[in-house]
Structures are given as C-alpha cells and as structure tokens.
C-alpha cells in the first residue's frame, strides 16, 4: 500500500512545468521542497528552496532527505549536443533515482516525453506498452529515464510514474497540438494521480482528452486520470497551422525528427 505523501521535492521548479506545479500544489502538502540550478525567488509559506545542480549526486541526495515523493522535471528540455544532454538528463536522472533509493523516497513522478516514442508515423496509434522510438538525443535521454525508473521500481522499490508529455501550453498552437496538447489544469491532475495512486511503475501520456490523439491513454484513465480539457475546442483556430517540412509532418515528433535528418524516410520501419 502507498504511504501518505507529506513532503514533495520538485526538481526543475524554475521551469515551465515545474514552476506551474509549484503554484498549483502549494498548500496541498505539508512542505514543497523546490530545487533548480538557478536560485528561486518569491518563497511562500510551506516552501523550502535548495539550489542544486543535478550532476552533483551528493547535493541531490541532501535535497531528498525526509522527502516522500519527487516530481522530477529537472534537466535540459530541448534537443542539444550530447554534452548538454548527458549531464543534466542522464547523469542527473541517475543521481535522482540513486538519492531516492538511499533516502527511502516512496516514488518519483517524472516528466518523460512523447519524444521517447515519437519516431513513429502519425498514422500509427501507440499506448503505454509501445516500444521506445526516440526521435532525437533529448528523446533518447527520456527513453533512458523510463528504463531507469523501471529498474529502480522493481529492483529497489522506488515507485515510478512516467508521464510522456505532449505539448504543454495554455492552449494548442498548431494542428499537431490538436493531437498532443495537455492543458495546465490537466497536467496538475495527472501529477496528482502520480502522487496518490497505488502502483509500482507505470507509463502514461501527458495529454488532455484529445479527439485526434495518437496515443491511447487508457492506462492513465485506469489509474484515475480524468482530463477536463479537449484540444478539439481550438480546431477552428489552429487546425490550419501546419509546417512545410515533409519529414516533420510525417512523424509524431515533428521538427525533433527532421532536425539533422539525413537518412531515407522510407527506410524508417
């Protein structure tokens, strides 16, 4: 049985998703411990702040002391050269799960990405059991994170809740987002499911209840996720906004696929 969650660490608390979760989860838990590589300001009651570089394993472990759950949003959120992916996304994730293991943290609710599986044509439907198909170095780091979480869940008992986040914006911005969008309030609800549900390790998709979704999110619904928003509401506004790059428009990962693409797209299985 899952234990009660009182103290929650948010890594990447200065980022877009982490910062939004900081404000929306404030007051729901005994303490929010906010971590980022840059100093955070405007500290509110119930918040503690620690400045941590995720590549520093000892600093990460100190931040995890007396923590019940981690919301792991830290790391490099964009496609970058290998050195800029390796330390924050791979070494940093290893440090987070190692700290969780040694400090007795119950669970890690973590920001994976659709880019872990998005080297897939838009005509295909995927679910939580679909194999990794990373479309870039960033996506590969997220695929690694999912496997890392699986290992620590089943070998060390650190629960893992991986959210393959689609397009996190206040509202959809183009035709692709009609399939991939997640609203801020649905993001909060999905994280809350990760903090309260009873599981060992699960993969879910971070999307709202989108009619055009490429991803079957029944595993999230099974765990209690009930998204309130629907991208189709904005179809008349953004449905005509498409790119002119045929590779980006063929695959679910869009421009993350087409960046540096030099192979034959017909060879992609």
Tokens (6 digits) for 224 = 């209690």
CA distances from residue 30 to 58, 65, 67, 96 in whole angstroms, order as listed: 24, 15, 11, 21
* Residue positions counted in the chain: 269
- Give the three-state DSSP class for 182: strand
User: For residue 48, what is the enclosing H or E element?
Assistant: strand 47-51
- Exposure letters 71-109 (e unless 16+ CB within 10 A, then b): bbbbbbbebbeeeebbbbbbbbbbbbbbbbbebebbbbb
- Give the three-state DSSP class for 150: helix
Which of the residues 110, 138, 152, 225 is marked catalytic? 138
The pLDDT score that the predictor gives to residue 3 is 81
The pLDDT score that the predictor gives to residue 1 is 65
Quote the CA–CA distance of 138 and 113 in Å, as a whole number.
Answer: 9
Tokens (6 digits) for 147 = 């496997």
Residues 6+ apart with CB under 8 A from 227: 182, 183, 186, 189, 190, 207, 208, 209
Quote the CA–CA distance of 158 and 107 in Å, as a whole number.
Answer: 5
Single out the residue of 80, 75, 79 nearest to residue 91, CA to CA: 75
Tokens (6 digits) for 18 = 């982490």
Quote the CA–CA distance of 75 and 206 in Å, as a whole number.
Answer: 18
> Would you write out the chain's pLDDT as a tens digit for each of its 269 residues?
678 999 999 999 999 999 999 999 999 999 999 999 999 988 999 999 999 999 999 999 999 999 999 999 999 999 999 999 999 999 999 999 999 999 999 999 999 999 999 999 999 999 999 999 999 999 999 999 999 999 999 999 999 999 999 999 999 999 999 999 999 999 999 999 999 999 999 999 999 999 999 999 999 999 999 999 999 999 999 999 999 999 999 999 999 999 999 999 999 99
DSSP 234: G
- Alpha-helical (H) ranges within 26-136 are 57-63, 82-85, 92-103
Decide if 203 contacts 112 (C-beta within 8 A). Answer: yes
Cross-strand pairs, 205: 164
Place of tokens 């390796």: 86
Quote the CA–CA distance of 107 and 69 in Å, as a whole number.
Answer: 5
Other C-beta atoms closer than 10 Å to the C-beta of 27 total 12
Decide if 216 contacts 177 (C-beta within 8 A). Answer: no
- Look up 138 and say whether it is catalytic: yes
């Amino acid at each position: 049985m899952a234990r009660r969650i009182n103290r929650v660490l948010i890594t990447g608390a200065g980022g877009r998703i982490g910062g939004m979760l900081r404000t929306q989860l404030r007051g729901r838990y005994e303490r929010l411990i906010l971590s980022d590589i840059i100093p955070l300001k405007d500290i509110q009651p119930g918040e503690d702040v620690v400045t941590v570089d995720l590549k520093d394993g000892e600093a990460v472990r100190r931040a995890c002391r007396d923590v019940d759950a981690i919301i792991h949003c830290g790391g490099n959120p964009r496609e970058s050269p290998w050195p800029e992916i390796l330390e924050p996304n791979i070494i940093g994730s290893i440090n987070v799960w190692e700290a969780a293991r040694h400090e007795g943290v119950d669970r890690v609710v973590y920001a994976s990405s659709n880019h872990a599986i998005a080297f897939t044509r838009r005509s295909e439907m995927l679910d939580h059991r679909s194999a990794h198909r990373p479309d870039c170095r960033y996506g590969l780091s997220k695929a690694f994170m999912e496997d890392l979480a699986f290992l620590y869940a089943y070998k060390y008992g650190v629960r893992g809740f991986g959210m393959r986040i689609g397009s996190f914006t206040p509202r959809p911005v183009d035709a692709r987002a009609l399939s991939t969008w997640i609203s801020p309030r649905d993001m909060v609800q999905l994280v809350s499911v990760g903090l309260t549900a009873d599981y060992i390790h699960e993969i879910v998709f971070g999307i709202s209840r989108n009619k055009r979704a490429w991803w079957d999110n029944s595993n999230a619904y099974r765990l209690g996720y009930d998204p309130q928003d629907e991208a189709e509401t904005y179809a008349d506004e953004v449905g005509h906004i498409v790119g002119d790059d045929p590779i980006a428009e063929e695959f679910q990962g869009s421009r993350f696929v087409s960046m540096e693409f030099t192979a034959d797209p017909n060879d992609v299985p």
